[in-house]
Amino acid sequence: MTQRLHKPRLGTTALIYLALAGVLAAGGIAVAVDGGNLFATANLVDMLTRTSLTGFLAIGMTLVILCRSLDLSVGYTAALSSLVAATTMDGQVANVPLAIGAVLLVSGLIGAFNGAVTAYLGVNPFITTLGTGLIIKGYLDTQYKGPAGDVPVMFQQFGYTRIGPVPVSTVVMLAVAAAAIWFLRSTRTGHHMYAVGGDVDVARMSGIRTGRTLLAAHVLCGMTAGVAGLLLASRFGTGSATAYTSLYELDAIAAVVLGGTLLLGGKGGVAGTVAGVAILAVLDTVFNVLQIDPFAKDVLRGVVIIAAVAIYARRQLDRTARRPRFAEGRAS
């Protein structure tokens, strides 16, 4: 009774952190050759600041992608949330708790809508969330011609205060990430997300309420987009309808995929996503410091993302559907 022999392999998450270290080293060298220091405080602050916004979105995105779903509406949800936050606060510190509550409610409801339509009406999540995004965009474009609302200075601290070189928003993002890791590992709902994304039939046959699980993932994804909206509001000091033009959802999906979560669901996790977010942030900072022109910058980002996914795809290839009867010494 022998188990199939496998060469010991690095876990995917370990691999991604190794890649992050590699990107940091390569970036550090590139910047040093250029006569700069990537690890100067200003650059570190820049890198860490970049992680928080994409981070919030990518954490929620990880949950839906684990369930073999997707959310293209997070950028619009975040923009709408920034407006809900700023207009509810209306310059009053006393309104901050109310505003946070309102944002989480609105963004959670958007997620619930996405989840319900996808899970119970069977609409492909790509279409569901694209549609939701367009609906929100239409609302934003017609109702808000410019910035609206007023964020009190106290709440703007969320966007700007730092503990040493580490921005508070990044600390909060890491706390949310830790909570998500715990959620996926220790709660039934979180655990079932892997099953739903891995094989929805197996999950259903095991008695898992697959629709509910998917719904939960979408609600949480909506809410992290809401938190991202709060961060936008605190950084801008006002609500910004046009924030969606930054296409944050694509950054979030890229970070998730870069972080080793399978786009087909069932495999991956938030720890990898955080590394994915960090890799993108390091690249952006390096490109900035080196003053690479924006076109080349986007091209390089694209290349990095595609290359990463190609590497994962290769690692995935040896899962043959059929079980070999006369397996030779398997090469991979």
Partner 1 sequence: MTEVLSMRGIDKAFLGVPVLSSVDLTMNQGEVHALVGENGAGKSTLMKILAGVHTADAGTIELGGRAVSFTHPLQAQHAGVASVFQEFNLLPELTVAENVHLGREPKRRGLIDRRAMIDSTAETLADLGVDDLAPTANVGRLSVAHQQITEIAKALSQGADLICMDEPTAALADAEVELLYRLIGRLRERGTAVLYVSHRLKEIFDLCDRITVLKDGRLVDSVATADITPDDLVAKMVGRRIEAQFPARLPGTETGGTRLKITGGGNDFVDSIDLDVRAGEIVGLAGLQGSGRTEIAEAVFGIAPFTRGTVEVDGTPIRITRPRKAIGAGIALVTEDRKAQGLALWQSVRANARMVLDANARVHSRRRLARVSGLLASLDLVARGEDQEVRFLSGGNQQKVVVAKWLAAEPGIIVLDEPTRGIDVGAKHKLYSVVRELAAEGLAVLLIASELIEVIGLADRIVVLHDGRIAGELPGGATEQQVMAYATGRGPE
Binding mask 76-115 for partner 1 (x = CB under 8 A): ----------------------------------------
Q: Tell me whether residue 145 or residue 322 sits nearer to partner 1 (CB atom).
A: 322
8 Å CB contact between 98 and 77: no
CB of 203 to partner 1, least distance (A): 7
315 counts as binding partner 1 under rule CB under 8 A: no
In whole angstroms, give the CA distance from residue 314 to residue 326.
22
Q: Based on CB atoms, which residue is closest to partner 1, 83 or 203? A: 203
- Judged by beta carbon, residue 142 or residue 186, the one nearer partner 1 is 186
Contacting partner 1 within 262-281 (CB under 8 A): 266-267
Torsion, CA 163, CA 166, CA 170, CA 172, rounded to 10: -30
Q: Does 185 bind partner 1 (CB under 8 A)?
A: yes
Which ranges in the chain belong to alpha helices (H)?
12-33, 41-66, 74-89, 96-120, 125-143, 153-160, 168-186, 188-198, 200-205, 210-236, 248-258, 270-290, 294-316
- Selected from 122, 145, 293, 326, the binder of partner 1 by CB under 8 A is 326
Among 1, 163, 310, 317, binds partner 1 (CB under 8 A): 1
- Angle 127-231-224 from CA coordinates, rounded to 5°: 40
Burial (0-12, 13-18, 19+ Cβ within 10 Å), 255: buried
CA–CA gap between residue 83 and residue 73 (Å, rounded): 16
Alpha helices in 121-207 (DSSP H): 125-143, 153-160, 168-186, 188-198, 200-205
**Shortest Å, Cβ 103 to partner 1:** 27
Is 7 one of the binding residues for partner 1 (CB under 8 A)? no
Which of 194, 244, 287, 312 contacts partner 1 by CB under 8 A? 194
Query: Which range binds partner 1 by CB under 8 A, 81-89, 138-146, 164-172, 179-187?
Result: 179-187
Distances (CA, A) of 278 to 11, 22, 211, 269, 310: 18, 12, 32, 15, 20
| The binder of partner 1 chosen from 94, 293, 310, 319 (CB under 8 A) | 319
In terms of CB distance, is 7 or 145 closer to partner 1? Answer: 7
121 binds partner 1 (CB under 8 A): no
Nearer to partner 1 among residue 73 and residue 261 (C-beta): 261
Number of residues that bind partner 1 (CB under 8 A): 34
Among 68, 137, 192, 235, binds partner 1 (CB under 8 A): 192
**278: Cα separation from own chain's centroid:** 11
Tokens at 219, concatenated: 């609600």
**Interface with partner 1, residue 329, by CB under 8 A:** no
Which residue among 121, 163, 317, 327 contacts partner 1 (CB under 8 A)? 327
CB nearer to partner 1: pick between 94 and 327: 327
- The distance of closest approach from Cβ of residue 9 to partner 1 in the complex, given in angstroms and rounded to an integer, is 10
Q: List the one residue from 45, 198, 246, 297 that touches partner 1 (CB under 8 A).
A: 198
Residues near 200 by beta carbon (within 8 Å), at least 6 away in sequence: 68, 210
Return d(Cα 42, Cα 48) in angstroms, integer.
10
DSSP 3-state of 107: helix
The separation between the first and the last C-alpha atoms of the chain, rounded to the nearest angstrom, is 22
What residues make contact with partner 1 under the rule CB under 8 A? 1-4, 6, 185-188, 191-192, 194-195, 198-199, 201-208, 266-267, 319-320, 322-328
